[in-house]
Amino acid sequence: MMRKYKFSGTFYSNDRQELQKQVNNYIKAAEIPESVRSGFSYISPHAGYIYSGKTAGYTYKALSLNKNLEIIDTIIIIGPNHTGYGTNIAVSLQDWETPFGILKNDKELSLQISKVDEIEINETAHINEHSIEVQLPFLNFLVPDKKFCFICMLDQSLGASIKLSDAIINAVKKLNRNAIIIASSDFNHYESREICNEKDNKLIKALISLDYKKFNELIIKLNDTVCGFGPITTALLFAKKLGAKKGHLLSYSNSGEETKDYSNVVAYSSLVFK
The 3-state secondary structure of 140-189 reads: HHHCCCCEEEEEEECCCCHHHHHHHHHHHHHHHHHCCCCEEEEEECCCCE
Task: Report, as an integer, the average pLDDT of 87-94.
Answer: 98
Task: Report, as an integer, the average pLDDT of 35-52.
Answer: 97
Q: Is the pLDDT of residue 1 over 90?
A: no
Query: How many of the other CB atoms lie within 10 Å of CB of 6?
Result: 15
Burial of 131 (0-12, 13-18, 19+ CB in 10 A): buried
Task: Report, as an integer, the average pLDDT of 80-96.
Answer: 98
**CA-CA distance, 248 to 238, in Å (whole number)?**
15
Burial of 223 (0-12, 13-18, 19+ CB in 10 A): exposed
Cut 0.85: pTM above it: yes
Q: Is the pLDDT of residue 257 over 90?
A: yes
Task: Report, as an integer, the average pLDDT of 203-215.
Answer: 98
Task: Report, as an integer, the average pLDDT of 210-220.
Answer: 98
- Do 152 and 132 meet the contact criterion of CB atoms below 8 Å apart? yes
Q: Is the pLDDT of residue 138 over 90?
A: yes
Task: Report, as an integer, the average pLDDT of 12-41.
Answer: 97
Question: 144-156: buried (b, 16+ CB within 10 Å) or exposed (e) per residue?
Answer: eebbbbbbbbbbb
Query: How many of the other CB atoms lie within 10 Å of CB of 4?
Result: 12
- Do 270 and 55 meet the contact criterion of CB atoms below 8 Å apart? yes
Task: Give the number of C-alpha atoms closer than 13 A to the C-alpha of residue 191, restricted to the C-beta side.
Answer: 15
Going by C-alpha positions, the residue among 72, 74, 68 that lies closest to residue 108 is 74
| Mean pLDDT value across the chain | 98
Task: Report, as an integer, the average pLDDT of 143-166.
Answer: 98
What's the number of domains the chain is made of?
Answer: 1
CATH of the domain at 80: 3.40.830.10
How high is the pLDDT of residue 117?
A: 95
Task: Report, as an integer, the average pLDDT of 47-59.
Answer: 98
- Do 267 and 52 meet the contact criterion of CB atoms below 8 Å apart? no
According to DSSP, the β-strands at 101-105 and 147-153 are parallel
- Domain of 163, in residue numbers: 2-273
